């Protein structure tokens, strides 16, 4: 039987297609997300001008967080102290986080790429530096 077995963290179910377009259901740990989907961006753990309760009332099922900005501010240490991004945001829905790789391109003039990772200058605090390693990227996302 399936008793005692854990559900996979992500299940993709194709609902319908029309030419190259498709509709699907993505089952995630915090609920189903129907695609295509609008995903509000909570860059540093907040949706500008909106509360998590507002997002829920509007029917939002998933928010986007930005790894570079979360690692920079509020920081992984603060996220850990808060019990994670869900607790910080008071959001029980799904959160998708990126790898931080986009900032490697978009903030290239503020970045130095090395074997260890990407060292960024904080665009809001000139002279302040942050090394985003693959390990720190994964830590920030979890």
pLDDT in tens, 45-61: 889 899 999 999 999 99
Per the confidence metrics, is the pTM higher than 0.85? no
Phi, psi of 84 (to 5 degrees): 105, 170
pLDDT surpasses 90 at 63: yes
Average pLDDT of span 31-42: 94
128 band by pLDDT with thresholds 50, 70 and 90: confident
Rounded mean pLDDT of the chain? 86
3 band by pLDDT with thresholds 50, 70 and 90: low
User: What distance in Å separates the CA atoms of residue 116 and residue 55, rounded to the nearest whole number?
Assistant: 38
């Amino acid at each position: 039987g399936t008793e005692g077995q854990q559900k996979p963290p992500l299940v993709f179910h194709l609902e319908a297609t029309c030419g190259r377009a498709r509709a699907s259901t993505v089952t995630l740990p915090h609920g189903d997300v129907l695609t295509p989907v609008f995903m509000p961006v909570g860059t540093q753990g907040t949706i500008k001008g909106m509360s998590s309760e507002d997002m829920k009332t509007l029917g939002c099922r998933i928010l986007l967080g930005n790894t570079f900005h979360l690692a920079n501010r509020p920081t992984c240490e603060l996220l850990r102290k808060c019990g994670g991004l869900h607790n910080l945001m008071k959001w029980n829905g799904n959160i998708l986080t990126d790898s931080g790789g986009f900032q490697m391109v978009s903030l290239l003039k503020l970045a130095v790429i090395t074997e260890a990772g990407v060292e960024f200058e904080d665009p809001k605090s000139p002279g302040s530096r942050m090394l985003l390693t693959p390990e720190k990227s994964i830590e920030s996302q979890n």
